[in-house]
Homo-oligomer: A and B are copies of this chain.
Amino acid sequence: MNVWSRRLAGPRDPLFQAFNASIVEDRFLADAEATASAAYARALARASVLTAAELDLILVGLERVRRRIAFGEDLCRFEDIHSAVELLLTEEIGDAGRKLHTGRSRNEQVVADEKLYLKAEIPKIVAAIGQVRAAAVALAGAHPDAIIPGYTHLQPGQYVLFAHYVLSLLGPLERAQSRLAETLHRLDACPLGSGAIAGSTIPLDRRTLAEDLGFAEPTSNSMDAVSDRTYILDVLYALAVLHLDLGRFAEDFVIFATREFGLIALDDRLATSSSLMPQKKNPDIFELVRASSGAAVGRLIGLMTTLKGLPSTYNKDLQTDKRPLREGIEEAGRVLRVFGAALGFIRPRADGPAAKPDASLLATDLADYLTEKGLPFREAHGVAGAVVAYAESQGKSCDELSLAELQKLYPGFGEDARAVFSVRRSIERKKTSGSTHPDEVRAALNRERE
């Protein structure tokens, strides 16, 4: 069933029809299509194309159609969601339904539908990110005193508060919210009234129509209005980066939860065991979060590839934007829910192998000590490195070196040198804003809680 049958002669080929039809992929836009159609009908009535009675009939009819679809109406006999709603409406209310499409093109409808869908869904994603932020705060707040080594290159560098590490999740999450908010801002223009490419001969008041649908303004060039799909790229990009960032932390958790690192413990419900090796406790949830960036990047690059080199305005190729759009939104929601919940089932281990104090991680503190004694930093750094190398060669930990040994490496070491080797003190000696100092971490927690 299609809406243009008198132009093309001859039988339709079912193979080609099935290939052309987008109805399976665009059913999720049914609600947006009904909403946009109702607003368009009101605009037609304002432009005197519909009578008040026809408008009423159409509005009632659209609600009935919306309900039929919500209750599972089989739409396979239609080509796409636009035809489906229009033809079901005509089934419901007869001739008046046939007037709804006056001066309207599917080229503008699909853009309106997609934008309305995003205006509804993106705030939910932003809120779900907010839930992950709250979960991070709860996790950090529950363990204010736990200390872990901070890693660079996966090598322990300096001690940090576990809470400080956990709060380093906030930056990526805030940026994800910022990207999504901007996406929403940039797409906030209503294409209806653009016609197929040239505009409409009906004197539609596009500003009122845009406002009726909650858009900030109407689009400003009819050809651009039906061409542009970068609002979907913007969303897929923001989501891909979100997945990549969550994946980085998932990678941390997978590593931190190993027997060897043992920095965190995962509750059994985050793990599965093996079908063959009964002792295994696998961090499947975080592996799957990490894996989710693959499909997210694939959706972005897939649509970029499709858009590449298309001539401007509408081309049928654009039809394939629906699936990455819907799946991208759904998958992000799913991963955020799972990741946020999973944060509730992590705890830092005080007893793990990597948690036991290692004086070599305090080498930077030793360099700082020497700098305070007046040694230029580069030399202080060199001496501290030599201390670490010497201790290693002796099979000792740095804090097991005697003062005499230290002084052999650098005579300027004083009685107070060995006081450097306190993990807690190392953390408390950090003085800058945004550092791991307990006061800074507490302040960050409080800022976020507000």
Q: Do the beta carbons of A98 and B378 come within 8 Å of each other?
A: yes
Tell me which residues across on chain B come within 8 A of A378, comparing CB atoms. Answer: 3, 86, 90, 98, 101
- Interface members, chain A 358-402 (any B CB < 8 Å): 358, 360-361, 363-368, 371, 376-379, 381-389, 398
**For the complex, is A294 an interface residue (Cβ under 8 Å from B)?**
yes
Q: Please state the number of chain copies in the assembly.
A: 4
Q: Which of B179, B197, B281 contacts A8 (CB 8 A)?
A: B281
Q: Do the beta carbons of B198 and A436 come within 8 Å of each other?
A: yes
Report whether over half of chain A's contact residues are helix, strand or loop; otherwise say mixed. helix
Residue of B nearest to A206 (CB): B433
- Interface members, chain A 227-242 (any B CB < 8 Å): 227-228, 230, 233-234, 237, 240-241
**For the complex, is A99 an interface residue (Cβ under 8 Å from B)?**
yes
Provided the pairs A7-B388, A260-B354, A378-B98 are in contact, do residues A432 and B204 lie with their beta carbons within 8 angstroms? yes
Tell me which residues across on chain B come within 8 A of A279, comparing CB atoms. Answer: 7, 360-361, 363-364, 384-385, 388, 398
Q: Do the beta carbons of B254 and A154 come within 8 Å of each other?
A: yes
Can you spell out 15 A-B residue pairs with CB atoms less than 8 angstroms apart? A6-B385, A8-B271, A15-B341, A16-B338, A95-B376, A98-B377, A103-B377, A152-B314, A154-B254, A196-B274, A200-B432, A202-B432, A279-B363, A297-B304, A297-B305
Tell me which residues across on chain B come within 8 A of A154, comparing CB atoms. Answer: 254-255, 258, 283, 311, 315
**For the complex, is A62 an interface residue (Cβ under 8 Å from B)?**
no
Tell me which residues across on chain B come within 8 A of A159, comparing CB atoms. Answer: 198
Q: Do the beta carbons of A150 and B199 come within 8 Å of each other?
A: no
Q: Do the beta carbons of B200 and A16 come within 8 Å of each other?
A: no
Q: For the complex of A and B, list the 10 residue pairs with the smallest distance between their C-beta atoms, beginning with the closest.
A: A199-B435, A298-B302, A294-B306, A278-B385, A7-B385, A287-B316, A309-B309, A98-B376, A291-B317, A171-B224
How far does the alpha carbon of A222 sit from the alpha carbon of B414 in the complex, in Å? 31
**For the complex, is A119 an interface residue (Cβ under 8 Å from B)?**
no
Tell me which residues across on chain B come within 8 A of A2, comparing CB atoms. Answer: 272
**For the complex, is A434 an interface residue (Cβ under 8 Å from B)?**
yes
